[in-house]
Amino acid sequence: MPKLSFFQAIGALAFLAFYGFAVFALTRDYYIRHPPSQAAVPAVAQPAAQVRPRPGAPTLANDSSIPASIVETNPAILAQQADGLFGQGRYAEAIPVYRRILEVAANDLEAHNDLGLALHYTGQTPEALSILAQGTAKGPKFQRIWLTYGFVQSQAGNGEGAAAALTRARDLGPDTGIGKEAARLLGIVQAAPATP
């Protein structure tokens, strides 16, 4: 390797510094004049609360990067979507998503519970009671569904059925939050005058 004199080495370093600065300046100028398109920015998944079902495919968000075949068969993803809609009070939109969960996971007790509530909140109380009864049969030790079943029965005016369901919810765990709520509702149901 040839040896450079002191002035040649300084000249080479100055040239490299100038060359690096020139490349930087030209690249910067190019990107200022031609900003990257939005397509080059990676897509960010939308939170479940912003999911809006499409007609005919209520389980898939329009802007979802997850393939439809996975969304439509994955109970966890479906539950996130349904719970997001339910949390926003969009019960009618949550109902088909909960139904889809039960198609792919028939024994999902949370889906039975939440579908029953959504149906009740949209004025479909008889169907809600049917779904909740199915859930209690599949999960007789699932405390939350008994609480919901008793609540919906009390709202439907069936004090006897409400008392039985709420008693069951209370007895499954009297010290839990659900058990305490069941006991509170049971007191209200038992104190209410009987309807003829």
Q: Which residue did the predictor score with more confidence, 142 or 23?
A: 142
80 contacts 48 by C-beta, under 8 angstroms: yes
For the chain, give the mean pLDDT.
Answer: 81
pTM for the model stands at 0.64
Task: Give 47: exposed, middle or buried? Use CB within 10 Å, 0-12, 13-18, 19+.
Answer: exposed
Residues 128-168 have pLDDT tens digits of 999 999 999 999 999 999 999 999 999 999 999 999 999 99
Distance CA 194, CA 172 (A): 26
Residues 157-196 have pLDDT tens digits of 999 999 999 999 999 999 999 999 999 999 998 887 765 5
The whole-number pLDDT of residue 150 equals: 94
**Beta-carbon contacts of residue 88 (< 8 Å; ≥ 6 apart):** 49
**Beta-carbon contacts of residue 121 (< 8 Å; ≥ 6 apart):** 91
| 34 has pLDDT over 50 | yes
The dihedral formed by the CA atoms of 104, 107, 108 and 111, expressed in degrees to the nearest 10:
90
Can you tell me the mean pLDDT for 12-29? 80
Distance CA 174, CA 181 (A): 9
Distance CA 98, CA 112 (A): 8
Task: Tell me the C-alpha to C-alpha distance, in Å, between residue 11 and each of 2, 3, 24.
Answer: 15, 14, 20
Distance CA 70, CA 89 (A): 26
What domains lie within the chain, and their CATH numbers?
49-106 (no CATH), 128-196 (1.25.40)
Task: Output DSSP code: residue 43.
Answer: P
Determine how many CB atoms are found less than 10 A away from the CB of residue 85. 25
- Which tokens belong to 176? 């839990």
Instruction: Read off φ and ψ for residue 190, nearest 5 degrees.
Output: -70, -25
The whole-number pLDDT of residue 74 equals: 85
| 119 has pLDDT over 90 | yes
User: Nearest 5°: CA angle at 145, between 166 and 171?
Assistant: 40
